[in-house]
Amino acid sequence: MIKIVTDSTSYLDESFIRENDVKIAPIKITFGVKSFTEGVDITASEFYELLGKGETLPKTSQPSVQDFIDIFKPLIEKSHHIISFHVSGGLSGTVNAATIAKNTLKTDKICIVDSQSTGVILQFLIERAVELIKEGLDFKNVYSSANELVKKMRSMFILDNLDYMVKGGRLNKAEVLISSFLHIRPIVSFTNGKTKIEGVTRSWIEAKNKLIAYVEKVYKTFGIDKIGVHCGANVDEAEEFKKRLQDFLENPIIIRQVGSSLGTYGGPKLLGIGIQTK
């Protein structure tokens, strides 16, 4: 049997996790002397409440090699194959930790997929893998299909400011310079698995309009199979944004509130789009 493993930046629904026996390697987060495990003992809402009160940025830590060994080994011992889907290797060392765990176990029954992104993109990749497994596709073909699907993914997001990404070290020195401008709202993409500033606006409204325009461009150029909206603490705003997308899209649109692993660097006010193109 083929088993699916992922990390907590996929933000999968609990019902989907249970129904498909997906194994999660959680991100850990530390506020001062208090440590939490994402999705286990801290919710997204609780995280944003703490973030708003904190004077310093919390610290996140990826799943360790041992965390992955503890997940992989029992599955391998039961003769399962594993496809492990993870947040972009350009953003986190999670892919590397999973790969080291695989090599430590000296097995060819594990394949690692670098999503080149995170959030709903991971969800879409995993959903497709589950479909193919149920259709009876073998291990290698499910893995190769997942890697091909990565190429069809598009993502973009807007931030209220760059403070959290700068403090978290997620931007290079050249990009950090624009944070010195007052009231800049950055538009950020995942390009080759890394964050890249695609532009800036002077107002949040303008930033949202540009995000809508981006979705329209992808829709007209490639077509859209699946789409999801990411948000931070601004869930009501995400609902309004979803309604605007539904003015020209027939696709079901999911909303996913991101938690500590992404909110630490994006801040409490963010909007993002994850798209699976046709």
Q: How many residues does the chain have?
A: 278
2-27+62-150 has which fold? Rossmann fold (3.40.50)
Hey, where are the domains in the chain? 2-27+62-150, 153-277
Confirm or reject CATH 3.30.1180.10 for domain 153-277, answering yes or no.
yes
Partners of 188 in beta bridges: 157, 197
- Nearest-angstrom CA–CA distance, 14 and 276: 22
Q: Are 278 and 224 in contact (CB under 8 A)?
A: yes
- Asked if residue 223 lies in contact with residue 249, where contact means CB atoms within 8 angstroms, the answer is no
- pTM summary value: 0.91
Q: pLDDT truncated to tens, each residue of the chain (278 aa)?
A: 999 999 999 999 999 999 999 999 999 999 888 899 998 898 898 999 888 887 677 888 999 999 999 999 999 999 999 999 999 998 899 999 999 999 999 999 999 999 999 999 999 999 999 999 999 999 999 999 999 999 999 999 998 876 666 655 555 544 555 544 446 788 888 877 788 888 888 899 999 999 999 999 999 999 999 999 999 999 999 999 999 999 999 999 999 999 988 888 888 999 999 999 99
